[in-house]
Amino acid sequence: MNNTVRVRFAPSPTGYVHIGSLRTALYNYLFARKNNGVNILRIEDTDQNRLVEGAEENLLRTMSWAGIDFDESVNREGDYGPYRQSERLKIYKHHIDLLIEKGHAYYCFATAEELEQMRREQEARGEAPKYDGRYRDYPREQARKRIEQGESYVVRMKVPADGETRFPDSVRGEVVFQNELLDDQVLLKGDGFPTYHLANVVDDHLMGVTHVIRGEEWLPSTPKHVLLYNFFGWEVPQFAHLPLLLNADRSKLSKRQGDVAVEDYIKKGYLPQALVNFVALLGWNPGEDREIFSMDELIEAFSLEKVNKSGAVFDVDKLNWMNGQYLREMETGEQVAFLRPFLEKAGIDVSDPLRTEKMVRAVAPRINKGEDVAGFKDLLGGHLPDIRDAEALEILRMPDASRVLEHFVKKAAALGELTPESFKQIMKEIQKEQGIKGPALWKPVRVAITSGPSGPDLPLVIDILGRDKVIAMVEHVLKNYCNE
């Protein structure tokens, strides 16, 4: 086997990138970089019926967004191309012919109707549906005559009827399958395209792949792949099957219970470094308590031996927390650049760069992802308060609430402008003159301006809104929410 570690991420361009695919791509990337190896991107587009226009471009864009790069790909040809399977059909046909000549594969003429009847009869007998091998021993020359006459066919692999197929797995240890339970898998379809199983094995061998790191859903197919390696007389790569991603109720992660496409998380305002950090910890334990890792730190710490067997729960709350950590670590300029599109989408005016920066400084400590800024639309727009929070309403009914707000309006109106500094001065004067301090002083003003008992830093909010809007908001609250 090649001494240089070579891994591949081999997606099908059938839609947006699944969060599980991002993890597979990430683990391959981390393993390659940790071992000074080669990371390959191969596009597996042999299932022509499922191809989605634009999916390949989206895939490449998503990988770039996540910071995952490839040494060989459709955009960076190496010595083992083409890297798009639909451009390798002659290679697969040659290897199909080799298998047939060696007696490890055969032509099958069973129609869709025959296969359906076969399935129904097996289910009626309580058997697991499986191809019954009716063409396993069909004379090869007779089969070729039927093909020459234009009859449609597929090619199936001839799985040994007994014995077992075993292979070591970096995550699961020794894995054993009984051959009698394996189907005679289709290798070449009626349209002349190979199935995943043949193309995958042929390409992995010809591209020098040393480690196959992929999702657990491919584990049942692996004995068929091992058999193909053996049929061709090739060395088998090291397998590592990653645990399933699970919903909170431990069912398989699915769109029915939440977002599963990376695109969804991008649109909601998650940062690439946060999503990558979070996904890295889904099924892999670095063996220490810390949870925040840069990409370089992930590369340094990663190993397949620390990947867990059991499924990993996708905890959105933890992702939100982690994204918030990354967001708050950003420089103000970076925060502005990241949050501006989300402010704009929420209908918040971002035409004034200085005001936009002030808004970002006010809301960034209070949010976990980009789309959260929409929750501050009314506040940042200076809309008159619509107070519904029970605790906020209770604060406005406190004995001194009206008095604080009335004196606040009077003092603010006497100023030419209301700045963070003059706001703090007003509050000091009210405290001194009225003998009101602590929560009784500050909470009514906060509620009157932010509509809630907590929120962004008040001096920052006042700096954004300006004197007239602040006075109008407080007067509105005095009139509509405070007891006489």
What distance in Å separates the CA atoms of residue 119 and residue 112, rounded to the nearest whole number?
Answer: 11
pLDDT tens for 465-477 read: 999 999 999 999 9
Task: Give the pLDDT confidence score for residue 163 in this predicted structure.
Answer: 96
Question: In percent, how much of the chain has pLDDT > 90?
Answer: 88
The mean per-residue pLDDT over the stretch 261-268 comes to 95
Out of 196, 222, 242, pick the residue that ends a domain: 242
Q: Which range (2-6, 40-44, 86-90, 278-282) has the least confidence?
A: 2-6
Section 281-293 average pLDDT:
91
The pLDDT assigned to 484 comes to 45
pLDDT of 2 above 70: no
Task: Please check whether residue 124 lies inside any domain of the structure.
Answer: yes
- Per-residue DSSP letters for 441-475? HHHHHHHHHHSSSS-S-HHHHHHHH-HHHHHHHHH
pLDDT value, residue 128: 87
pLDDT at 227: 98
The least confident of 9-13, 126-130, 148-152 is 126-130
Q: What is the pLDDT of residues 390-400, one digit of tens each?
A: 999 999 999 99
User: Per mean pLDDT, which range of 247-256, 281-290, 304-313, 346-355 is the poorest?
Assistant: 247-256
Q: Is residue 150 part of a domain?
A: yes
Straight-line distance from the first to the last Cα atom of the chain, in angstroms, rounded to the nearest whole number: 85
Q: Is 348 helix (H, G, I), strand (E, B) or coil?
A: coil
**Span 69-119, pLDDT tens digits:** 999 999 998 999 999 999 999 999 999 999 999 999 999 999 999 999 999
- pLDDT above 70 covers a percentage of the chain that reads 98
Is 267 a member of any domain?
Answer: no
Taking the C-alpha atoms of residue 267 and residue 62, their distance in angstroms, rounded to an integer, is: 12
Give catalytic status of residue 158 as yes or no: no
Residues 6+ apart with CB under 8 A from 280: 23, 26, 27, 30, 293, 298, 302
* Span 132-157, average pLDDT: 95
Beta-bridge partners for 107: 155
Among 197, 227, 242, give the residue marking a domain's end. Answer: 242
Cα pseudo-dihedral 421, 423, 425, 428, rounded to 10: -140
Domain limit, last residue, from 213, 242, 271: 242
In the DSSP assignment, the letter for residue 193 is P
User: Read out DSSP for 50-76?
Assistant: G--TTHHHHHHHHHHHHT---SBBTTB
Residue 253 pLDDT = 86
Alpha-carbon span 13 to 398, nearest angstrom: 61
Asked, for residue 281, whether it belongs to a domain, the answer is no
What confidence tens digit (pLDDT) does each residue in 11-20 have? 999 889 999 9
Can you say whether residue 189 is alpha, beta or left, with left for phi > 0 and alpha for psi between -120 and 50 degrees? beta
pLDDT at 379 over 50: yes
Q: What is the largest CA-CA distance in the chain?
A: 107
Residue 371, Cβ neighbours under 10 Å: how many? 16
Q: What's the CA gap between 157 and 155, in Å, rounded?
A: 7
Residues 6+ away with beta carbon under 8 Å from 245? 19, 20, 23, 252, 253, 282, 283, 311, 312, 314
Q: Which two tokens stand for residue 378?
A: 């009314």
The answer to whether residue 264 sits within a structural domain is no
For residue 469, count other CB atoms closer than 10 A to its CB. 17
User: Distance (Å, rounded) from C-alpha 156 to C-alpha 190?
Assistant: 11
Residue 256 has pLDDT above 70, yes or no: no
CATH number of the structural domain spanning residue 422: 1.10.10.350
Q: Is residue 285 part of a domain?
A: no
Into how many domains does the chain fold?
Answer: 2
Q: Is residue 478 part of a domain?
A: yes
Q: What is the mean pLDDT of residues 361-389?
A: 93
Structure tokens at 186: 């289709």
Residues in Cβ contact with 200 at an 8 Å cutoff, skipping those fewer than 6 apart: 10, 44, 225
Residue 223: which H helix or E strand, with range? helix 222-232
In whole numbers, what is the pLDDT of the chain averaged over residues?
94
Q: What span, in angstroms and rounded, lies between the C-alpha atoms of 47 and 49?
A: 6
pLDDT digits (tens, 9 = 90+) for 161-201: 999 999 999 999 999 999 999 999 999 999 999 999 999 99
Instruction: Provide the domain limits for residue 179.
Output: 88-242
Residue 325 located in a structural domain: no
Q: Which of 451, 360, 475, 467 is nearest to 412 (CA)?
A: 467
Beta bridge partners of 239: 169, 212
Location of structure tokens 């470094």 = 273
Q: Is the dihedral of CA 228, 231, 234, 237 positive or negative?
A: positive
What number of residues does the chain have?
A: 484
List 102, 252, 255, 432, catalytic entry: 255
Q: Which pLDDT does position 382 carry in this prediction?
A: 84
Give the mean pLDDT of 367-391.
Answer: 93
